[in-house]
Chain A
């Protein structure tokens, strides 16, 4: 915008004034139109914040913030005076899934990234990379179906007495879902480490493993860690797998074999149940949404900060 202002200022004053033709008017209007389109994303962010804030504020007129943050019971969809709005069970459910997913995805994702970046011969890479991309492109609803109808029955044969809905199966599958994300982002970070540094290490007689673990991984650490954080933020916001496979019992537990409920799963349950517009349940949807948004926002900012702040420059 300011650029065109400069532009017209520099020509308008001089002797070579631009004729006000249709073409020149187009030239002036286009950047403004494009800016309006570009601002759509900014407007979206503000719209998200405002809708969440507005309804959350009216939620907190009826429920105290202290009860919301410290309460250990969540019975929002119960009727009348039995309702309790303590978010901790939903947060613990979400964290249980996220930690479980991290245990699966961080080692496997990192190992895949090291293999693809340091070990894999070119033909193998050309086969494996597209397969990981396919895995990344599979809709989460498909993973949810897989968790409920394949992973859970499999786990039941290993662990007798396991609930049909349990956090273990969901977190395993969420973990599988985020493996490609960690693998590809970490691999990008490792590929960005200059060849010369690797060659220097090889020249000193290091093995491939030593080069990978003591040279490449430390050099790419900021990118790797930020890929972990981004992937976990994805796990926190993941909805369908946990809705289908993890159950809808908001309990404050750290037992991964139990049925739990995550923040996202509650939102689905509330949105699909018949709750009245403007009721406290309806508002609780926004309060939980706000909490979820804050969690992911903080993690995304941390990832962004790590990637920037600790980046090794070569």
Chain B
């Protein structure tokens, strides 16, 4: 555009030329001004997220902080707000994660190893891959229906910790697989070749070279997936973990309730005190999430130094 105008500008009289150049300077000022305005607008849009996060956290701490005392952690759910506590839910969530963690880790890593180290790039591996990315987009409540049909009724597990944990495993498995795949793919090819050159077999290479190198990445991915599992509510509702529970589970076949479910129960009560209890429950849930993320970062840094 500007080249054309310069050429045209040369042809016209100097008077018009002056006008043209003045106009051009104005246009440049306008374009710069637009850029500055847009810069501000884009920054503002980005800050929306930050502001919402700040407002959300202050609101929750303001409502819930006063309820966090020893009683809150030692009492079971109750009709009376001042006697209600989070013991059953907290233990239920811990049980749920304790069972889900090894299952997702084993199946996630195995799947990733198959796809990255063993599978030929053919229709089968592509099919599995498309499947995994599609599963990652299935709403969590649909996984809940699957859990209800398959585990609660089909396998007759009832509304137990195991049924909930198996459902959660299927739900977060795609996240672990993708994270583990990325970690394994990032292992330098030269390390594998060095291992083969020493006479190692394929599995020895995977076991002694690839997995240790990829471990920090896999671990981080698993913990992040578990922190998704600990906050999920809908699948647990479908699996039926909503009944009134006033005990902590003793085995994987016991009934249970979980933190998000308890928070939901309190949120659905009309009384203001229960909303404050819900806020207190949310603080506990966020604290658990935060410590899991901190653990993930700590472990990643610790192992990364060693390799």
Closest 9 CB pairs of A and B: A237-B139, A139-B231, A111-B45, A37-B110, A115-B42, A34-B114, A239-B234, A300-B137, A207-B35
Chain B residue with minimal CB distance to A3?
A: B120
18 pairs from A and B in contact (CB 8 Å cutoff): A3-B118, A35-B119, A40-B173, A51-B149, A111-B45, A119-B39, A128-B46, A139-B230, A146-B59, A207-B35, A237-B142, A239-B234, A267-B145, A268-B238, A271-B148, A277-B153, A293-B139, A300-B134
Whether B138 lies near A137 (C-beta < 8 A) is no
B194 interfacial contact with A, CB 8 Å: no
Chain A residues within 8 Å of B, Cβ to Cβ: 2-3, 23-24, 26-27, 30-31, 33-35, 37-42, 44-45, 47-48, 51-52, 55, 107-108, 111-112, 114-116, 119-120, 128, 131-132, 134-135, 137-146, 148-150, 176, 179-180, 183, 205, 207-210, 212, 230, 233-234, 236-240, 244, 264, 267-268, 271-272, 277, 285-286, 289, 292-293, 296-297, 299-301, 303-304
Whether B174 lies near A41 (C-beta < 8 A) is yes
A180 contact set on B, CB distance < 8 A = 49
A120 contact set on B, CB distance < 8 A = 46
Interface residue from B42, B110, B120, B145 paired with A112 (Cβ < 8 Å): B42
Whether B145 lies near A52 (C-beta < 8 A) is yes
Whether A264 lies near B139 (C-beta < 8 A) is yes
B111 contact set on A, CB distance < 8 A = 34, 37-38, 40-41
Whether A41 lies near B42 (C-beta < 8 A) is no
A237-B140 contact, Cβ under 8 Å, with A41-B128, A285-B145: yes
Whether A139 lies near B234 (C-beta < 8 A) is no
B63 interfacial contact with A, CB 8 Å: yes
CA distance A277 to B240 in the complex (A): 13
Whether A296 lies near B138 (C-beta < 8 A) is yes
CA distance A122 to B8 in the complex (A): 43
Question: Closest approach, in angstroms, between the C-beta of B112 and any C-beta of chain A?
Answer: 9
Interface residue from A2, A23, A107 paired with B201 (Cβ < 8 Å): A23
Whether A207 lies near B34 (C-beta < 8 A) is yes
Interface residues on chain B, size class:
35 or more
CA distance A304 to B293 in the complex (A): 30
Q: Which of B76-84, B244-252, B274-282 contacts A (4 or more CB under 8 A)?
A: B274-282
Q: Told that A3-B118, A236-B139 touch, could you supply 7 new A-B pairs with CB distance under 8 A? A: A2-B120, A145-B60, A179-B49, A209-B34, A230-B137, A239-B234, A264-B141
Chain B residues within 8 Å of A, Cβ to Cβ: 2, 31-32, 34-35, 38-39, 41-46, 48-50, 52-53, 55-56, 59-60, 63, 106-107, 110-111, 113-115, 118-120, 122, 127-128, 130-135, 137-146, 148-150, 153, 170, 173-174, 177, 201-203, 224, 227-228, 230-234, 237-238, 240, 242, 260, 263-264, 267-268, 275, 278-279, 282, 285-286, 289, 293
Whether A30 lies near B203 (C-beta < 8 A) is yes
Question: Closest approach, in angstroms, between the C-beta of B63 and any C-beta of chain A?
Answer: 7
A148-B39 contact, Cβ under 8 Å, with A45-B131, A142-B286, A300-B137: no
Whether A209 lies near B118 (C-beta < 8 A) is no
CA distance A118 to B135 in the complex (A): 33
Chain A residue with minimal CB distance to B34?
A: A209
A38-B115 contact, Cβ under 8 Å, with A47-B150, A145-B60, A244-B268: yes
Question: Closest approach, in angstroms, between the C-beta of A133 and any C-beta of chain B?
Answer: 9
Whether B53 lies near A135 (C-beta < 8 A) is yes
Interface residue from A23, A41, A128, A212 paired with B177 (Cβ < 8 Å): A41
Interface residue from B41, B115, B132, B137 paired with A233 (Cβ < 8 Å): B137
Chain B residue with minimal CB distance to A2?
A: B120
CA distance A179 to B142 in the complex (A): 23
A132 contact set on B, CB distance < 8 A = 49
Interface residue from B2, B56, B228, B293 paired with A205 (Cβ < 8 Å): B2
A137-B227 contact, Cβ under 8 Å, with A38-B111, A115-B45: yes
Question: Closest approach, in angstroms, between the C-beta of B306 and any C-beta of chain A?
Answer: 25
Whether A240 lies near B289 (C-beta < 8 A) is no
CA distance A116 to B142 in the complex (A): 34
Chain B residue with minimal CB distance to A233?
A: B137
Whether A239 lies near B138 (C-beta < 8 A) is no
Whether A244 lies near B140 (C-beta < 8 A) is no
Question: Closest approach, in angstroms, between the C-beta of A104 and any C-beta of chain B?
Answer: 9
A128-B134 contact, Cβ under 8 Å, with A51-B150, A293-B142: no
A236 contact set on B, CB distance < 8 A = 139
Question: Closest approach, in angstroms, between the C-beta of A296 and any C-beta of chain B?
Answer: 6
Whether A134 lies near B53 (C-beta < 8 A) is yes
CA distance A24 to B148 in the complex (A): 42
Interface residue from A128, A209, A210, A239 paired with B139 (Cβ < 8 Å): A239
Whether A39 lies near B128 (C-beta < 8 A) is yes
CA distance A96 to B201 in the complex (A): 57
Whether A48 lies near B233 (C-beta < 8 A) is no
CA distance A115 to B130 in the complex (A): 32
CA distance A297 to B53 in the complex (A): 30
Whether A271 lies near B46 (C-beta < 8 A) is no
Chain B residue with minimal CB distance to A51?
A: B149
A271 contact set on B, CB distance < 8 A = 144, 148, 237-238, 240
